[in-house]
Structure formats: C-alpha cells, structure tokens
Structure 1
Amino acid sequence: MIKFFRKIRHRLLVENKFSKYLIYAFGEIILVVIGILIALQINNWNEERKNSQLEKNYLLSISTDLENLTYNTQRIYVDQFDEKIENLLFAKKYIEEPFAISDTIDFINTITKGAASFSGFYLVDDEAYQELVSTGNLRLISNDSLRKDLSEFYTDMKVQAELSKRYNTEYGNYVNAIRPFDNDNPSYLTPYDINEFLEELTTKKFRQLVDHELTYGYRTRRMAKSVVKNGRKMKERVDEEIK
C-alpha cells in the first residue's frame, strides 16, 4: 500500500502536476490523521472494555463481601445477642426475685452464656473495597452516586467497629473468674464452684455487672441490626449496577 502511494506521488511529480500533487499529499495527510484517530478510538474502546470488565469484577466481589458481612453480622451479633440478652434477663430476674432452681448446673450455664461476646463489635468482609481504595481503582466505579455511597458505608462501618472496641464490660471476665467453663464438658462444676457462683448472684456487684452487660448487649444488637439493614440495601444497589 505504501509503495502504491509512493508511485502515485512520483508520477505526479514527473508529469509536473504540482498542484495535483499538493492536493494528493494533503489528502494523504488527512488519511493518515484519520487512521491515527481510528487507532486511538479503537484503543480507547479496548481500554473502556477492560475497565468495564474490571469494574464488574470488583462489584461482584463487593457484592459477595456484603453478603458475607450481613450474614455473619446477623448470625453473630443479632441472633446470638438475642440469646445473650435473654440469658442476662434470666439472671436479672433471679437476682431481683429469687425462685426455686430445678437444675443448678443448667441454671448456672444459662447465666454464664450471658457473658458471650463481651469484647467488642468486629466487622470484616471488606477486602474488595479496600483493594479498590489502595490500588487507586475506586475511579473505576462509573456510577458517582454508588461510589459515594460505598465510601460512606464502609467509612461508617469502620467508625462503628472502632467505637465498639472501646466499649468492653467486666461481666465475662468476672463470670469466668468464679467458675471454670469447658466447652467440651460444660457440666463440669465442683460443689465449691456452684456454691461460690450462687453466693455471687446475691451481691450488688453481680447485679450491676448484669445491668452493664445488658446495656452493652442492647447497644451492640441495635448496631448490628443497622449494619444488616444497610448492608442489604447496599448489596441491592451493587447488584442492580452489575445488571
């Protein structure tokens, strides 16, 4: 093709058709420019296609993270805290209005379960979003509104998790200090353990610790329900964007 155009230019010069040569040369320049523009446009299309696929992959990963986040938060900090609070209320009821105990070991174990999860609220499953931020690829999220909402959602999650770590109670440590607990053998309690535990139930300190743990339980469960609700809404938005 290049040889073909070269022959045409040579023939025009030989025949002394300079004006036609200029027109031809100008046309050839236009063709070259058009070719460059087409190549650039094709390159842009390819780049956009790659970015679009990369964006979709990130959104799919974020959707999976959000599903895991809401599932684990519901399972650990809503469902288990429902049981935790129920057991604490059971202890509070006995402390305030003692009743006959039919099964002492089961009674103590029920109250002890109120000490579960007493060291803060932890959130995970944000790997895909953190990778977006750390690699500078957050710009790949083409929907400005979604990008903004994702940023606010994960920022809020981080703040809540950090705040919850500061809110620890002594109930779990106290309960574990007055009775040993073996997950493989939860019925293991010596007569001394039983007597000490029942005596502690009558103290003002134990009642205050129960109330403190209840406050923590209510607060954490409320936070967890908010995470589940907002996480599910965010997942719906991400899934809609993927479609």
Structure 2
Amino acid sequence: MITLFRKIRQNLLMTKKIGRYLKYAIGEILLVVLGILIALYINNKNQDYQVEKRTTSLMREVAKDLEYFIAMSNNQLEFYSYKQRIFDLIINEKLTYEDYSKSSYPNLTNATTWYLGGGKKRVAYNNLISEINSIPNKYKSTVSALSNFYDNKFNEDYIELIKSISIENEKKRVNNYEWYSSKVPDNQNNEMIDFMLNDFRYKNEAKYYYVLVSQHIGFILKDKIRAQKILKKIDSLLNNSLEKSNLRIDLNDNNSIIGQWTNNDYPNYIISISDNNNKLFYQTNIDSTKFELNTISDNLFIDNDNSFWRVEKTNEEVKIRIVNIEFNKSKK
C-alpha cells in the first residue's frame, strides 16, 4: 500500500500536475490522521473495556465481603438476642438455684465472659481504593458509600471493648475467688452459684456488660443496613448479575406474625404487626407511630429500641417473645 502511494506521488510530480498532487497529498494526510484517530478510538475503547472489566471484578469481591459481613452481623445479633434475655434475668433477679444447677439456659455461668468476635474484611475494598483514579464515574457514588462504611469503626471498637471486658471479668474470678479452680462442674459449684445469685458485684458486672451489649447492637444494626444498601447498589451496577439469594435482603415469609398480639399480664396493651413491600412494621394501641422491624432470621427480628422479637412456634401455636415477655396472637 505504501509503495502504491509512492508511485502515485511520483507520477503526479513527473507529469507536473501540481494541483492534483496537492489535493492527493492533503487527502493522504487526512487518511493517515483518520487512521490514527480510529486506532486511538479502538485503543481507548479497549482500555475502557479493560477498566470496566477490572472494576467489575473488584466490585464482585467487595460484594462477597459485604455478604460475609451481613451474615456475620446476623450471627452477632442472634448471639446478643440470647445474651439480652440472660442479662434481663440476672439484673431483675429472676434466676433461681435450679436454673444454674439444672443448666436451664446454655452458658449461663459465662454470661459476662462469653463473647463473639468479628469485623469487616478490607482486602477487596483496599484493592478497589488503590485503583480509584481509573474507576469509571458511574461507580464513584458507590465507592463513596463504601468509604463511609469502612471508615465507621464504632462496631469494631465495641467488639474489642467487649472482648477486653470479658477477659477482665475472667481475670477477676481467677484472682479473687477460690471456687474458680474447683474441680466440680459449674452446675454443682455451690459457691459460684451463690456468687452469681447474691453478690452485688456480679449484678453490677452483668448490668455494665448489658449496657455495652445494648450499645453495640445499635452499631451492628446500622452497619448491617448500610451494607445491605450498598450491596443493592452494586447489584444494580452489575446489571443484577449477583445471585439474589446471596443479597441477604430481608424478604422472608412473615405471614405467621402479621396481626395483633397481646400479653396476659397487660391485656389492654396491643401490638399490631403489618407488612408493607416485604418490610415489617409494628405499632401499639397507645401510639399511632409505625416502626420498622429489621429481620435477622426467619424467626428473629429487632425493633428501633434494639430489643429482639423472637417468634416461637409449638404445636401449631405461635408466640412472640420480646426479651422475656411473651405475647400471644389475638383471635379477634
């Protein structure tokens, strides 16, 4: 092709057709420029494709970490739902010697020393941030939301705080009580049971632990909701290419708890639970305000006061336990 162009130029010069030569030369220049522009366009498109492919891959990894975090948060909340119930029994002196000796509640003697770890996985997010300058604009708002999510460390700070308090409580027993090294099982350790039933220091210990847990529950829930929202945004950006089952969005069959609920001790107090766009809301007969119930699992929910609602089904009878208060479904 180059040889052909050279011959055409030589022929035009030899025949002294200067005007046609100039037109040809300009055309040749334009053709070369066009070729360069097409090459640049193809190269840019290829670079854009590679950047999009890389960003999509990074977003998928971040989504996996968010899925893990949501699942872990649900586990933590499930764990705390049991702890909240136990602390209520301890603080309000509702436990008996038999509760300890018969092990009526799992891990009862470890209430203030038993903790659950956790935290946010950051490797995928850090990889994404390291390439922030090349990420397409359509992802920038999601990256900003991710930055806010990962920069918020209250949840993890409380994990470390409760871990340290748990270890400290264990050390107190090691240093101050002979019964700690007793060879008898906990449910037969009379001195230990007497300490947990009657010593004000243990009740103070339980109450302080309960306050920390209650505060931590709020931070877990806020982080979980943030993670769910970001996960939905990533799902939308990736054209719904994430598995819906992995989004862990609160879309459960809640028909069994929709309706009105009463407590035998407070017959005039009624809780109404309703469903709106696959979200649960509750209100009472003494307040017209509706509050959302956040779903943790098929039978566990949490309200705006960080109190857990557990659905218990036995012999075709459904009950709701809010901490240690039991509600029955109204038949009206």
Question: What is the TM-score when the length of structure 2 is the normalising length?
Answer: 0.62
* Aligned-CA RMSD value: 2.9
Aligned to 1:210: 206
Note closer, same or farther for the CA distance 1:150–1:233 as it changes in structure 2 (3 Å cut). same
Structure 1 distance, partners of 2:187, 2:57, is 57
Counterpart mapping for 1:49-68 below 5 A: 49-68=49-68
The structure carrying a bigger strand percent of its residues is 2
Shift of 1:100: 5.1
8 Å Cα contact 1:70-1:228 kept in structure 2: yes
Aligned to 2:78: 79
Counterpart mapping for 1:6-21 below 5 A: 6-21=6-21
8 Å Cα contact 2:155-2:216 kept in structure 1: no
Structure 1 distance, partners of 2:99, 2:156, is 40
Q: How many residue pairs align between the two structures?
A: 231
Note closer, same or farther for the CA distance 1:103–1:117 as it changes in structure 2 (3 Å cut). closer
Counterpart check, 1:161 vs 2:156: yes
Deviations 1:93-133 (A, max 9, x none): 33xx66452661515864224235548x6412232111112
Counterpart check, 1:188 vs 2:185: yes
8 Å Cα contact 1:51-1:140 kept in structure 2: yes
Counterpart check, 1:140 vs 2:135: yes
Question: Greater CA deviation, 140-149 or 7-16?
Answer: 140-149
Note closer, same or farther for the CA distance 1:128–1:108 as it changes in structure 2 (3 Å cut). closer
Counterpart check, 1:230 vs 2:229: no
Structure 2 distance, partners of 1:82, 1:149, is 29
Aligned to 1:35: 35
Structure 1 distance, partners of 2:50, 2:36, is 21
The structure carrying a bigger helix percent of its residues is 1
8 Å Cα contact 2:73-2:220 kept in structure 1: yes
Output the amino acid matched with 2:131: G
Aligned to 2:24: 24
Question: What is the TM-score when the length of structure 1 is the normalising length?
Answer: 0.82
Deviations 1:25-81 (A, max 9, x none): 111111111100110000000001111111111111111111110001111x20011
Q: List gaps (5 residues or longer) in structure 1.
A: 182-186
Counterpart check, 1:114 vs 2:108: no
Aligned to 2:88: 89
Work out which of the two has the higher radius of gyration on C-alpha atoms and give 1 or 2: 1
Structure 2 distance, partners of 1:163, 1:103, is 29
Output the amino acid matched with 1:126: R
Note closer, same or farther for the CA distance 1:221–1:56 as it changes in structure 2 (3 Å cut). same
Note closer, same or farther for the CA distance 1:225–1:49 as it changes in structure 2 (3 Å cut). same
Output the amino acid matched with 1:38: I
Q: List gaps (5 residues or longer) in structure 2.
A: 240-332
Note closer, same or farther for the CA distance 1:93–1:28 as it changes in structure 2 (3 Å cut). same
